[in-house]
Chain A
Amino acid sequence: MTMIKRASVVIIGGGIIGCSIAYNLAKMGCKNIILLEKNSLASGATGRCGAGIRQQFGTEMNCILARESIKIFENLSQELDYDIELNQGGYLMLAYTEKEVNQFKKNVALEQSLGIDVRYITVKKAKEIVPPLNTEGVLAATFCPTDGHANPFNTNFAYAEAAQRLGVKIYNFTEVREIKTENNRIVSVSTDKGEVLTPIVINAAGGYSGEIGKMAGVEIPVYSQRHQILITEPVDPLFKPMLMSFSRNFYCQQTPHGSIIMGFGDPDEPKGHDIGTSWQFARDMAQKMTAVVPLLKEVSMVRQWSGLYNMSPDSQPIVGEHPQVNGFYMAVGFSGHGFMLAPVASRLMAELILKGKTSIPIDRLDIGRFERGELIIEPSVV
């Protein structure tokens, strides 16, 4: 496909964020949108993620965004005419320390005040929800039955194909080389396939969003960090919810397909773009999860891989226009929550661009909050 000469919006990044923004802009009537992807769709963080969807967060902002995102997810297969394999088996968050117990009580109070169906439960109740759970060391748990999981590939392709049906042009294997500005205004994007004139660029480049920022002449305070993950062979249903612990540092979920996916965040992981894998991770992961669900000892790992979290200083996304570059919009720094927040973040981004205001206030997710010192620290991140 030869590059068109002029577009009303250029989106950089063919992951869930870029594709869902393309879809929402087109759905709201915007014409002549193009999306640039340097590899193929879902080849970055989206296709590599655990694809969990939860509403159990420690900040009001994340709770509200996640709550609204779940509502969209619930009708998304129908809306996009593509089965995204949404599976609402809940998230069971396990508390192993007193500090965690206190944080969970605070989180539940906050979540309930925002209308999220979540409960603080005893160890006995947790064991009823997940019978193969080894409760040793577990002090309490929280459970939200409407949390869950979807197929990240299907969701990404569903948005992309729906966007294309609405006229969005997607250029795969097309790498952005330069973003030109004039008088602090976006004028064009140059790629290895040609140049396109545009007044609006949306940075949805995930792990490479900092690099895209530099091309537009701005510093975005994000960094990328490898997160490893593994998956087992498919087995009979063992448990429904996502199991998660912050202090023991793991998440683990059985997909509807039967395979079990699990990961943890290495606190010593250096910043950067490495997406290799290590045996140490597979061993540590196996040790962690076989201790929590001993039955897993008999289940085989078939594949391991990694992807990039794009971290912001407060683990909350940066969503909005850059104050110094007119027409340069960012949907970056999702800090491991891009997949679950994409449905709502993309809708709000489309509203912001086309109407200048959003149906849910997200002014506080602007890039200016770091300079103002108004960080929204999220305590509940793996």
Chain B
Amino acid sequence: MKDETIICRCEDVTWGEIRQALEKGYTTLDEIKRVTRAGMGRCQGTTCRRIILREIAKFCHKSIEEVTIPTFRPPTKPVKLGTLAGDDDD
């Protein structure tokens, strides 16, 4: 994979940035998210999470199942604040 390849399309994070984070010792998805913003954009990692998990596994010589998955944070899809504000049932 080339350094210029975009891994997180929402936040414009390249493979080069993720590779550098891995090499610095940030080897969990949560850390990579916090260092690079990968997975923090509009799609919340739906696109890039699997690629990053695979690369962490490769880098750490682990299987994908052994890599810790970050906390799922609601909502599943973006919701307009106006829609949220108008919702009055508990």
* A positions within 8 Å CB-CB of B: 40-43, 47, 153, 157, 161, 232-234, 257, 277, 279-280, 282-283, 285-287, 289-290, 296-305
- Docked complex Cα distance between A171 and B24 (Å): 14
Cβ A304 vs Cβ B81 within 8 A: no
| A283-B85 in contact given A301-B75, A303-B44 (Cβ < 8 Å) | yes
Closest B residue to A280 by beta carbon equals: B90
| A303-B73 in contact given A40-B28, A233-B42, A286-B84 (Cβ < 8 Å) | yes
- Docked complex Cα distance between A302 and B76 (Å): 8
Q: 9 closest A-B pairs (Cβ-Cβ)?
A: A297-B82, A286-B84, A300-B78, A286-B85, A153-B34, A286-B81, A287-B85, A290-B85, A303-B73
Cβ A47 vs Cβ B34 within 8 A: yes
Binary A-proximity of B67-90 (CB < 8 A = 1, otherwise 0): 000010111001111101101001
Closest B residue to A262 by beta carbon equals: B81
Cβ A283 vs Cβ B30 within 8 A: no
Cβ A233 vs Cβ B78 within 8 A: yes
Is the CB of B17 closer than 8 A to any CB of chain A? no
Contacts of B24 in A (CB 8 A): 161
Q: Could you give 24 example pairs across A and B, Cβ below 8 Å?
A: A40-B26, A41-B34, A42-B34, A47-B34, A153-B34, A157-B34, A232-B81, A233-B41, A233-B78, A234-B41, A277-B74, A282-B74, A286-B82, A290-B81, A297-B82, A297-B85, A298-B80, A298-B82, A300-B42, A301-B81, A302-B41, A302-B75, A303-B73, A305-B71
| A297-B44 in contact given A287-B85, A305-B73 (Cβ < 8 Å) | no
Cβ A290 vs Cβ B82 within 8 A: yes
Cβ B73 vs Cβ A304 within 8 A: yes
- Docked complex Cα distance between A279 and B83 (Å): 13
Cβ A304 vs Cβ B84 within 8 A: no
Given contacts A257-B37, A282-B84, A286-B85, 8 further A-B contacts (CB under 8 A): A40-B31, A286-B81, A289-B81, A297-B81, A297-B85, A300-B42, A301-B75, A303-B75
- Docked complex Cα distance between A280 and B37 (Å): 27
Cβ B80 vs Cβ A297 within 8 A: yes
Q: Which of B31, B41, B71 has the most CB of A within 10 A?
A: B31
Cβ B87 vs Cβ A283 within 8 A: yes
Cβ A41 vs Cβ B31 within 8 A: yes
Cβ A157 vs Cβ B81 within 8 A: no
- Docked complex Cα distance between A302 and B77 (Å): 7
Cβ B79 vs Cβ A301 within 8 A: yes
Contacts of B75 in A (CB 8 A): 282, 301-304
Contacts of A157 in B (CB 8 A): 34-35
CB distance from A241 to the nearest CB of B (A): 19
Contacts of B35 in A (CB 8 A): 153, 157
Cβ A300 vs Cβ B30 within 8 A: no
Contacts of A303 in B (CB 8 A): 40, 44, 73-75
CB distance from A42 to the nearest CB of B (A): 6
Q: Which of A47, A257, A280, A282 has the most CB of B within 10 A?
A: A282
Closest A residue to B35 by beta carbon equals: A157
Q: Out of A40, A277, A299, A304, which one reaches B80, CB within 8 Å?
A: A299
Contacts of A299 in B (CB 8 A): 80-81
Closest B residue to A1 by beta carbon equals: B25
- Docked complex Cα distance between A172 and B73 (Å): 23
Binary A-proximity of B15-58 (CB < 8 A = 1, otherwise 0): 00000000010101011001101001110100000000000000
Closest B residue to A257 by beta carbon equals: B37
CB distance from B71 to the nearest CB of A (A): 8
Cβ B81 vs Cβ A40 within 8 A: no
- Docked complex Cα distance between A257 and B81 (Å): 19
Cβ A300 vs Cβ B81 within 8 A: yes
- Docked complex Cα distance between A286 and B82 (Å): 7
Contacts of A232 in B (CB 8 A): 81
CB distance from A304 to the nearest CB of B (A): 6
- Docked complex Cα distance between A285 and B84 (Å): 9
CB distance from B43 to the nearest CB of A (A): 9
